[in-house]
Structure 1
Amino acid sequence: MSEDEKNPARQVIADYAQAHFRYFRTADGTVYAQRNGHPVARPIRSQGTTGSHRQELMVGLFKDGIGVFNGSALKEALDLIEALALSEAVQPVHIRVAPGFDGATWLDLGRADGKSVRIHPTGWDILTPDPREVCWRRTQLTGELPLPAKDTDGKGIDLLFGLTNFVNAATECLAIAWLIGCLGPSVPVPAPFLTGPQGAGKSTAGRMLVRIVEGMSGDLRRAPKDEENLIAAVAAGWVTALDNLSHMTPDLSDAMCCIVTGAESVKRALFTDGDVHRAAYRRPLLLTGIDVGVIRPDLAERLLPLRLERPRVRRTEAELWADYEEALPVVLGSLLDLTVKVRAAEAETPTDLRMADFAHLCAQLDAATGLGALAAYRAGLDDLNDDVIEGDLLAQTVLRHAETIALGEAQRMTSTEWLHCLSRVHSGDEPRSLPKGWPTTGKVLSDRLKRLQPTLAARGVLIDTGRTMRGRYVEMTRPATVPPHEQLTF
């Protein structure tokens, strides 16, 4: 009897697996399998349609002539392997973009051979990453990118914007800055909001921007109806693109804020009572729509408005996408060249903008190219502040009342007193009912004013809260010195 016949089937499978795969765990305790020399890792418990480790183990055993084993033997072997892997060192897995050694970052091309792009301080190369440096996780949303072209001399950027309908060069440079930000694994970037009249090609332009990073299979999606499905979609890909938004609920707005700047979702693990499943996420987000109604101030600070116009000459979908697919390797190569150049540029970080990392990236882009991205970003945020004010009666009322406050002076009252004051300002001399959504208590007013703080500050009105021996107060101030771009306009 041969030695293999003496060993139980589970032992044969376990020996084969440990000889051909590397097993490790992530910080949340999930065990992954990685074929020796290959950067793609699969969770050993995965039953997904993109291929599970169980399946690749069965195929390897069969092709190498070891045999076909039943489910019980495979389960027992994988149980043993999972237990052994829990004592291994922790290593993260990444989707599409990952940090590397020596200040480099990696871009997964989604190819079966594992070839990826290494972006380093002096350039970029197409390589197969060392499995101990980068572990890629693939899902159904991981599309394949073409091999980027070398020595493009920036032609790809012109080709891209020759296929889109952005209104001006300022909008185009913001789109470039966002694409460069998408190639950074640790830089939160604002969400481009593609707007314009009907027929301006917002969805087409959105697809083109997304497919530079996600491949030709990348597409726009309808916004999920609940936050749990939205988080599941976000966690399975890199860029999340939501199409044709016409209304934004408060819950969806808050979820988008979390996606842009990062958050963690915790829920009960399946089939357990005392364990939880953690999902941390921060992803690039892209939105399209004509009008989404009222934009909440906290989301406005995380948006990047990109306007489009109707084209003078229409092209068929087949012609447009054929030209795009042909140009994509050159577009990607030009974007990588520009990314290296921008990362090497030195620039000061603006300290007055919430998305400071993206503002710094815009400053670096300006230093490298002189495009004026930072000024365009400031102008876009100013437009969004106007949108917030136009959609918020309370903000309009506060600004109207602020005109009665002398420059350099402050008014301090309790939130209840402010509610009565602002209600009188809104109603005027003629008594009329307050509008739907108007604050009903001082606490509600105080909370609303806290949300509006950045928007009002951009118009020269500062809101502050505090506490004295008499209780809490809200203070409204018009500073004596206001930068020209923040002067009160209403």
Structure 2
Amino acid sequence: MSEDEKTPAREVIADYAQQHFRYFRTADGAVYAQKNGHPVARPIRSQGTSGSHRQELMVGLFNDGLGVFNGTAMKEALDLIEALAMSQPVQQVHIRVAPGFDGATWLDLGRNDGQSVRIHPTGWDILTPDPQEVCWRRTQLTGELPLPAKDTDGKGIDLLLRLCNFATAETECLAIAWLIGCLGPSVPVPAPFLTGPQGAGKSTGGRMLVRIIEGMSGDLRRAPKDEENLIAAVAAGWVTALDNLSHLTPDLSDAMCCIVTGAENIKRALYTDGDVVRARYRRPLLMTGIDVGVIRPDLAERLLPLRLERPGVRRTEAELWSEFAEILPVVLGSLLDLTVKVRAAEADIPTDLRMADFAHLCAQLDAATGLGALNAYRTSLDDLNDDVIEGDLLAQTVLKHADSLEPGAAQRMTSTEWLLCLTRLYAGEDCRPLPKGWPTTGKVLSDRLKRLQPTLAARGVLIDSGRTKEGRYIEMTRPAPPPPHPQEALH
């Protein structure tokens, strides 16, 4: 055969690729490749060590006897494939959990054969998902989970709690509710904060909770120094676990709020002038630490404190993790069984809590098991409100002033007048110096009070603002207690 009759290498690669792979694009324009019949998708531009499409394409060509091709031919073929894929329908890729058809959800076990868990209204099964239904995205943070055990009779939950050092039964049921929430792709869950005295096993307990969802390779990590690295770590996995936190900067606190309830990050694409890269993220977050200092009110509404206690008997790391790896299939099977029961349970949606989806999940867990998770969640939020107030002198001063108001009374002043009033109340007759961070202008005070609104409302003090012809105002109200129920009045 003459040189003119030979098929160009780029055409050989392109023909082979289109025969053995399915190509599609996501909503942000990234093009993915999916081997025929396999649920795992890889970005065609990835050069990652977790297995790029370029690598699997080169291996396939070599194993099928078509030869080894140079980089130029491969690049030209992938350029053509990428251009053709831009006209294909949009499909989303998922990490670890995904919505499916007919109300089902999927859990990626991270296995090479693509086997996953389908959780549906009547139970759960181990299947290989149809690529048209679920496309899995794998990264270096995607660990492998064992095949969950069937017919566990719920004993896996007891085995897990026996290894953890949770201080109370209320803490245990909140941890279970959080694990169930992690299996839902569309339910925002508050971030557990594992706390307790030194030696209580906070890091070990955090690893156990993470590894139930992420496999034995899942681990805790130090908090990144900047938001960009934090977002990169969050986007590459499902559960993000930060260890040994001792201080939360305002920027890190705001970033954690976005991680829990969802946000989008946009930055300029590399080597371009006008293109941008969009990164949407909402992930389960877990933290450990003895004390993180002052907690901002908006983050407090998104936290789930889990207190641990020091164990009476110490065990070696090797013995502990060997037992955990042994019981993990049973733990996962029991968690899946309980998830099915909880999702089937009917319960009213609490409308007074910020994380309403998680509160509803707690109510469903109570309906299915009677554990009292919703009351435990409310109690944990009250404790966090106390922490916020104890760490904020302005909140303490506002509550002190509210005590002077009659029940049902309201007081309205401008922000500047409120600043003068509260400053005088704090300084007192001895004119003690104002603390660092005390509001210096009416605008700063107004902004601080807006952040404190939920915390103060939980303590029976309502803050509102508005405008009249005279100008803007801030109103403080101390609502009157509700009248007693007729049956209570008889007693």
- After the TM superposition, which residues 341-420 of structure 1 pair with which residues of structure 2 at under 5 Å, given as runs? 341-420=341-420
Letter in 2 for 1:311: P
Q: What corresponds to 2:191 in structure 1?
A: 191
1:283-307 CA-partner distances (Å, limit 9, x unpaired):
0000000000000000000000100
Q: What corresponds to 1:488 in structure 2?
A: none
CA apart distance, 1:7: 1.3
CA apart distance, 1:168: 1.1
**Residue 431 (structure 1) aligned with residue 442 (structure 2):** no
Whole-angstrom CA distance in 2 between matches of 1:104 and 1:293? 41
Q: What corresponds to 2:472 in structure 1?
A: 472
Letter in 1 for 2:260: V
TM-score norm. by structure 1 comes to 0.98
CA apart distance, 1:481: 1.9
Classify the secondary structure of the residue corresponding to 2:170. helix
CA apart distance, 1:6: 2.2
Classify the secondary structure of the residue corresponding to 2:167. coil
Letter in 1 for 2:401: H
TM-score norm. by structure 2 comes to 0.97
Classify the secondary structure of the residue corresponding to 1:188. coil
- After the TM superposition, which residues 35-46 of structure 1 pair with which residues of structure 2 at under 5 Å, given as runs? 35-46=35-46
- After the TM superposition, which residues 139-154 of structure 1 pair with which residues of structure 2 at under 5 Å, given as runs? 139-154=139-154
Distance 1:401 1:234, change over 3 A: same
- After the TM superposition, which residues 228-307 of structure 1 pair with which residues of structure 2 at under 5 Å, given as runs? 228-307=228-307
Q: What corresponds to 2:226 in structure 1?
A: 226
Whole-angstrom CA distance in 2 between matches of 1:123 and 1:2? 62
CA apart distance, 1:4: 11
Whole-angstrom CA distance in 1 between matches of 2:197 and 2:433? 35
Q: What corresponds to 2:16 in structure 1?
A: 16
RMSD: 1.2
Whole-angstrom CA distance in 2 between matches of 1:93 and 1:10? 28
Classify the secondary structure of the residue corresponding to 2:156. helix
1:170-193 CA-partner distances (Å, limit 9, x unpaired):
100000000000000000000000
1:386-437 CA-partner distances (Å, limit 9, x unpaired):
0000000000000001010100000000000000000011011111221110
1:128-154 CA-partner distances (Å, limit 9, x unpaired):
000010000000000000000000000
Q: What corresponds to 2:69 in structure 1?
A: 69
Structure 1's unaligned 5+ residue stretches are 485-490
Q: What corresponds to 1:487 in structure 2?
A: none
Whole-angstrom CA distance in 2 between matches of 1:225 and 1:340? 39
Classify the secondary structure of the residue corresponding to 1:265. strand
- After the TM superposition, which residues 198-209 of structure 1 pair with which residues of structure 2 at under 5 Å, given as runs? 198-209=198-209
Whole-angstrom CA distance in 2 between matches of 1:395 and 1:406? 19
Whole-angstrom CA distance in 1 between matches of 2:315 and 2:75? 55
Percent identity over the alignment is 87
Structure 1 stretches (4+) deviating beyond 6 angstroms? none
Distance 1:190 1:5, change over 3 A: farther
| Contact 1:94–1:136 (CA under 8 A) maintained in structure 2 | yes
Letter in 1 for 2:245: L
Whole-angstrom CA distance in 1 between matches of 2:138 and 2:65? 28
Distance 1:279 1:480, change over 3 A: same
Whole-angstrom CA distance in 1 between matches of 2:273 and 2:357? 40
Q: What corresponds to 1:320 in structure 2?
A: 320
Whole-angstrom CA distance in 1 between matches of 2:448 and 2:242? 27
CA apart distance, 1:3: 11
| Contact 1:4–1:12 (CA under 8 A) maintained in structure 2 | no
Q: What corresponds to 1:442 in structure 2?
A: 442
CA apart distance, 1:345: 0.2
Distance 1:3 1:119, change over 3 A: farther
Classify the secondary structure of the residue corresponding to 1:320. helix
1:162-220 CA-partner distances (Å, limit 9, x unpaired):
00100111100000000000000000000000000000000000000000000000000
| Contact 1:245–1:289 (CA under 8 A) maintained in structure 2 | yes
Distance 1:2 1:323, change over 3 A: farther
**Residue 462 (structure 1) aligned with residue 462 (structure 2):** yes
Structure 2's unaligned 5+ residue stretches are 485-491
Letter in 2 for 1:19: Q
Classify the secondary structure of the residue corresponding to 2:367. helix
Distance 1:19 1:3, change over 3 A: farther
Distance 1:216 1:414, change over 3 A: same
Classify the secondary structure of the residue corresponding to 2:306. strand
| Contact 1:106–1:119 (CA under 8 A) maintained in structure 2 | yes
Q: What corresponds to 1:308 in structure 2?
A: 308
CA apart distance, 1:5: 5.8
Letter in 2 for 1:310: R
Letter in 1 for 2:74: L
Count of aligned pairs: 484
Q: What corresponds to 1:90 in structure 2?
A: 90
| Contact 1:365–1:371 (CA under 8 A) maintained in structure 2 | yes
Letter in 2 for 1:128: T
Q: What corresponds to 1:125 in structure 2?
A: 125
